[in-house]
Amino acid sequence: MNTITEYNQDNFHEFEYYAGLAIIRFYADWCAPCVQSKPVFQHLAAQHSKQIKFGQVNIDQSPILTLRYQVFGLPSILIFDHGKIIKRMTGLLSLKQYSTLIDELQPTNVESDSD
C-alpha cells in the first residue's frame, strides 16, 4: 500500500487543510539528495501513516506550490499541523532524525512530569 500521495496544484488543498499532523516532501527527480532520501521518507511514512498524512510534490511539475511555500533547497520537508506550517527542514535527514522530530511533535507522545 502506498502511504505517500503525490500532490500538485490541483489536489494540494486535500493536504493543506488536513485536520492533523501532515508531512510533505518537495523533491525533483534530477536532485541526487532527493533520490537518496526517498527510501528513508518512504520508510518513515510506512511507520507513521496511521497517525500522520504523508505526501510529496515534484517541484518541476508544481512550480506554483514551490514558490508559494518558498522551497529553495532540496529535498525540503514541511510539517503542517491543522493547515499551518510548524516545521521546515532542508537536506538529508536520517530515519532516526525524522522519527525523533515526529515523536516531539505528536501530542500523544507527550509525557507528564509526575515523578
Span 94-114, pLDDT tens digits: 999 988 988 888 764 434 444
Query: Is residue 36 assigned to a domain?
Result: yes
- pTM of the predicted structure, to 2 decimals: 0.87
Mean pLDDT of 18-26: 94
d(CA 61, CA 38): 17
Q: What pLDDT is attached to residue 3?
A: 83
Q: What pLDDT is attached to residue 2?
A: 56
d(CA 7, CA 28): 13
Strand partners, 100: none
Mean pLDDT of 4-10: 95
d(CA 62, CA 9): 6
Q: What pLDDT is attached to residue 111?
A: 42
Among the listed residues 27, 48, 23, 24, the one whose alpha carbon sits nearest the alpha carbon of residue 37: 27
Query: Is residue 20 assigned to a domain?
Result: yes
Q: What is the pLDDT of residues 56-93, one digit of tens each?
A: 999 999 999 999 999 999 999 999 999 999 999 999 99
Q: Number of structural domains, the chain? A: 1
CATH number (domain holding residue 79): 3.40.30.10
Q: Give the domain extent around 37.
A: 4-105
d(CA 60, CA 62): 6
Query: Is residue 45 assigned to a domain?
Result: yes
Q: Which residue has the higher pLDDT, 36 or 109?
A: 36
